[in-house]
Amino acid sequence: MTRKVILYFCAMEKSSYSVRFLRKHFASLLDAAYSPDEANTLIMILFEHHFNINRITMALNPELSLNDTEHDIIEKSVNELLTNRPVQYVIGKEVFCDMDFFVNENVLIPRPETEELVFHIKQEFEGKTDANADYEVLDIGTGSGCIAVSLAKLLSNSHITAIDISTGALEVARRNAIANHATVDFIQADILSRPQLDRTFDVIVSNPPYVCDCEKKDMRANVLDFEPSTALFVSDDDPLLFYREIVNLAQHSLKPDGTVWFEINERFGEDMVLLCRNNGFSNTSVFRDFRDKDRFIRARR
């Protein structure tokens, strides 16, 4: 039965609620924790996710209704949003590079700036001339797998390996690779314990934890209370810890002409350039993100 027919029957039920009414009702509940614009956007995300109802469906079907069960589903999601749980965890999804990624509290929600990192790498590959070569790519701290899976889809002639320390994150990343029909080799390893890898790479990419503990005070509860802190935070005393280890690993795991690509904290662009230079990398460039912040570093050996 199509959605339209189901909704027609729902509209016939005595206890049905009009979608237009519910949209206003739940948006006003969300006003307790969100701005009116955010509240409206969130309600529409829930309608679309749970019932495939978007603005157009609503405009074309002013009589659209939800039955008791459907009402309860929306109510449950609204209550979760009122605890500041990010909507991406509530619906279990974020779109990244035009693909759907399943997310839960074991992984960071993919950010739009990280999409830019993927596009930089794709662009670099487009400049490579040897169409017959097979390129090896390593993603360190893969989380949801968003970088690894996107690169597997976007780069031809490439083999992608992805590392994470977290069992829960690797479960999510594997699920995302399967759902998006991407081939990625996943390895459970702690980058800080200097894992031995059985091959060398043309590209090593990482978006490691880079938010300093001292920056927590400026962050919103939806991030602090729900996203995995091990994927986000580093101690104020050693904010480049992960980058240092990765640059170290690159000494023996990067091919002679290979590149490393990092997402970075905008405060450490210059320190990162120094770190790369001091470890024998040349051609170090900093790139800004769409918010005009120093966000990515590329270094070539």
| Residues found near ligand GLN in the complex (CB under 6 A) | 111, 207-211, 223, 232, 263
**CB closer to ligand GLN out of 197 and 223:** 223
Smallest separation, CB 266 to ligand GLN (Å): 10
**CB closer to ligand GLN out of 207 and 253:** 207
Is residue 96 a contact partner of residue 54, using CB atoms and an 8 Å limit?
no
Smallest separation, CB 218 to ligand GLN (Å): 10
Taking the CA atoms of the chain, what radius of gyration do you get in angstroms?
22
**DSSP-derived secondary structure for the chain:** --HHHHHHHHHHSTT-EEHHHHHHHHHHHHTTTS-HHHHHHHHHHHHHHHH---HHHHHH-TT-EE-HHHHHHHHHHHHHHHTT--HHHHHT-EEETTEEE---TTSPPP-HHHHHHHHHHHHHHHT---TT--EEEEEES-TTSHHHHHHHHH-TTEEEEEEES-HHHHHHHHHHHHHTT--EEEEE--GGG----SS-EEEEEE----EEGGGGGGS-HHHHTTS-HHHHEE-TT-TTHHHHHHHHHHHHHEEEEEEEEEE--GGGHHHHHHHHHHTT-EEEEEEE-TTS-EEEEEEE-
**CB closer to ligand GLN out of 50 and 85:** 85
Q: Which bin fits 53, alpha (ψ -120 to 50), beta or left (φ > 0)? A: beta
Q: Who's near 235: CB < 8 A, 6+ residues apart?
A: 212, 213, 241
Residue 297 CA to residue 287 CA, distance in Å, equals: 6
Smallest separation, CB 223 to ligand GLN (Å): 6
Smallest separation, CB 189 to ligand GLN (Å): 18
**CB closer to ligand GLN out of 63 and 190:** 190
**CB closer to ligand GLN out of 44 and 219:** 219
Smallest separation, CB 69 to ligand GLN (Å): 36
**CB closer to ligand GLN out of 50 and 111:** 111
Smallest separation, CB 129 to ligand GLN (Å): 32
Smallest separation, CB 111 to ligand GLN (Å): 5
**CB closer to ligand GLN out of 75 and 215:** 215
**CB closer to ligand GLN out of 47 and 243:** 243
